[in-house]
Chains A and B, each alone.
Chain A
Amino acid sequence: GAGVSQSPSNKVTEKGKDVELRCDPISGHTALYWYRQSLGQGLEFLIYFQGNSAPDKSGLPSDRFSAERTGGSVSTLTIQRTQQEDSAVYLCASSPPTSGNTIYFGEGSWLTVV
Chain B
Amino acid sequence: AQKVTQAQTEISVVEKEDVTLDCVYETRDTTYYLFWYKQPPSGELVFLIRRNSFDEQNEISGRYSWNFQKSTSSFNFTITASQVVDSAVYFCALSEALAAGNKLTFGGGTRVLVKP
The listed residue (B43, B91, B101, B107) touching A50 by CB distance below 8 A is: B101
- Tell me if A1 counts as interface (CB < 8 A to partner B): no
Question: B43 → chain A, closest Cβ, in Å?
Answer: 5
Which size bracket describes the interface of A in this complex? 20 to 34
Distance between Cα atoms of A66 and B102 in the complex (Å): 20
Q: Kindly identify, within residues 22 to 77 of chain A, every residue whose CB is under 8 Å from any CB belonging to chain B.
A: 31, 33, 35, 42-43, 45, 48, 50, 56
Indicate whether A100 sits within 8 Å of B44 (C-beta atoms), given known contacts A42-B108, A42-B109, A105-B37: no
Asked whether A102 lies within 8 Å of B50 as measured between CB atoms, the reply is: yes
Render B6-31 as a binary contact track against A, CB cut-off 8 A, 1 for contact.
00000000000000000000000001
Interface residues of B (CB under 8 A from A): 31, 33, 35, 37, 42-47, 50, 52, 91, 95, 97, 100-109
